[in-house]
Amino acid sequence: MTTLLAFFFTLAVLIVFHEYGHYWVARRMGVKVLRFSVGFGQVIASRTDRHGTEWALSAIPLGGYVKMVDEREGEVPAAQLDQAFNRKSLGARAAIVAAGPLANFLLAILLFWGLFLVGVPILKPIVGEPAPGSPAQLAGVQSGETITRINGESIASWQDLHWLALKQVLRGAPLQIETVNQRGHLAFRNLVVPELGEELENAPLKALGLARYLPPLAPVLGQIAPDGVAAHAGLRAGDHIVAIDDVAMATWEQVVETIRRSPGKNLRLTLARAGQTRQLGLAPAIARDGDLAIGRIGAGPRVDPEVLASLQGTAHYGPLEAMRRALARTWELSSFSLEMLGRMITGQASLKNLSGPLTVADYAGQSAESGLGSFVSFLALVSVSLGVLNLLPVPLLDGGHLLYYFAEFLTGRPVSEHIQEIGQKIGMSLLGLLMFFALYNDFSRLFFH
């Protein structure tokens, strides 16, 4: 239910903002708007305002539209000819079409600005022990070091680290990181970036051997998922796992590693609880980590709140700096989205990076459950993606109409209806192909991994 509500709320906000951009500029350009619809198909609720615009809610909630007076779509009364979209200047028509995607970018900027003003929760970019043989380990990265820069760009959080690392590795750039250890000693590390592949695209930090630092934890249970294997087996918060199958457990990491490599296997746990020793049996649930089957029991370690707080923080900014960062973040996401799309078209990046409505719904639910800040950040990200998608020069999208207007600007006459009909068929084919790959990836991620 949380996922469904978050998904439909996301759609409603993005659709309304996008279509209101078209509507607002159309009204300013003197075009009469007949209908503002959220959704397609049969109108299920509507009202008409004093300007004669019908505000409608339609049956299929996967989009929306603004219907304007236009001689190409039917006869227009003589009294309304000066309010027809097709009678407006080229600049006015282009402004109306471009206003939808620009509204999505504006929404993203406002959402990011609000986040930066209120304060963004961050994880400090402190790295743990690199995986053996990984680029980080070969470069000499040590557990407990804080990464402060990547290729000269400042790092303030683990989120920044992930974002900058992803940008650099996709561009094939060598990776130089600047680190500071717990004694304040500065070091420069040159990481040899492996050949671009699916793991590097999807989990760049893992592929580089960079993992978050976690202080040594005792094998004591903290949180227990209500419906997990641990709960059904009778484990409780505070249980000390002494051994698994008679192998002594000294740290939480040992417990995790033993469970991960035992999916579906019956394990015997020796526990210390309230001064008594007990034994319980359980079989870790089978989960997927990429192509690898791993075990999970639905339990987490007990962590000292003070230790946890030392690894976290909140970044606050003033109004001007928050706006600068919001503009920069929106620009970076937009350019990166275009770059990734170009790489997928040229075969430099996997088509598995495409996501459809099922993945969007899944992430909407996850972000909503993670808190308001996560959900607002998700909204901003999807709004940027929608703005970029609609500006692509593909017929049927806003960018396709802008392409026609550019051709009209160059030739001095509108693109013929015959050319537009051919363009519509090409556009429908391209969008259909895009949706096929997106839905295929959705089903693969959600049901086969």
Domain ranges of the chain: 135-213, 221-310
The structure's pTM equals 0.72
What's the pLDDT band for 449 if we cut at 50, 70, 90? low
What's the pLDDT band for 151 if we cut at 50, 70, 90? confident
Residue 244 has pLDDT above 90, yes or no: yes
pLDDT of residue 350: 67
Query: What is the per-residue pLDDT across 294-325, written as a single tens digit (0 to 9) for each?
Result: 899 999 888 877 777 777 777 778 899 899 98
Query: What is the per-residue pLDDT across 39-87, written as a single tens digit (0 to 9) for each?
Result: 888 889 999 999 889 999 998 877 889 999 998 888 888 888 899 998 9
What is the third-level CATH fold of 221-310? Pdz3 Domain (2.30.42)
Mean pLDDT for 203-211 is: 81
- In 3D space, the residue among 354, 343, 364, 369 whose CA is nearest the CA of residue 444 turns out to be 354
pLDDT of residue 105: 96
- In 3D space, the residue among 135, 131, 138, 143 whose CA is nearest the CA of residue 179 turns out to be 143
**CA–CA distances in Å: residue 405 to residues 68, 398, 402, 417:** 18, 11, 5, 13
Query: What is the per-residue pLDDT across 251-274, written as a single tens digit (0 to 9) for each?
Result: 888 999 999 999 999 999 999 998
pLDDT of residue 215: 78
What's the pLDDT band for 227 if we cut at 50, 70, 90? confident
What's the pLDDT band for 199 if we cut at 50, 70, 90? low
What is the third-level CATH fold of 135-213? Pdz3 Domain (2.30.42)
Per-chain mean pLDDT for the chain: 85
pLDDT of residue 41: 87
What's the pLDDT band for 5 if we cut at 50, 70, 90? confident
Q: Are 236 and 224 in contact (CB under 8 A)?
A: yes
- In 3D space, the residue among 411, 407, 389, 406 whose CA is nearest the CA of residue 398 turns out to be 389
CB atoms within 10 A of CB 428: 13
**CA–CA distances in Å: residue 19 to residues 107, 246, 345:** 12, 64, 29
pLDDT of residue 331: 92
Query: Of 8-12, 105-109, 183-187, 366-370, where does mean pLDDT reach its minimum?
Result: 366-370
What the block records as the tokens of 399 is 């960018």
199 compared with 360, residue with greater pLDDT: 360
Query: What is the per-residue pLDDT across 350-404, written as a single tens digit (0 to 9) for each?
Result: 667 677 777 777 777 777 777 787 888 889 989 999 999 899 888 888 999 999 9
Rounded Cα–Cα distance for residues 449 and 447 (Å): 6
Give the sign of the dihedral formed by CA 91, CA 96, CA 97, CA 99: positive
Catalytic positions, please? 19
pLDDT of residue 349: 64
Residue 340 has pLDDT above 70, yes or no: yes
Domains 135-213 and 221-310 belong to one CATH topology: yes
181 φψ region: left (φ > 0), alpha (ψ -120 to 50), beta (else): beta
pLDDT of residue 364: 78
Residues sharing a CB contact under 8 Å with residue 267, sequence separation 6 or more, in sequence order: 244, 245, 258, 259, 281, 282, 283, 284
pLDDT of residue 142: 87
What's the pLDDT band for 201 if we cut at 50, 70, 90? low
Q: Are 264 and 283 in contact (CB under 8 A)?
A: yes
pLDDT of residue 375: 86
DSSP assigned state of 220:
B
Rounded Cα–Cα distance for residues 385 and 323 (Å): 20
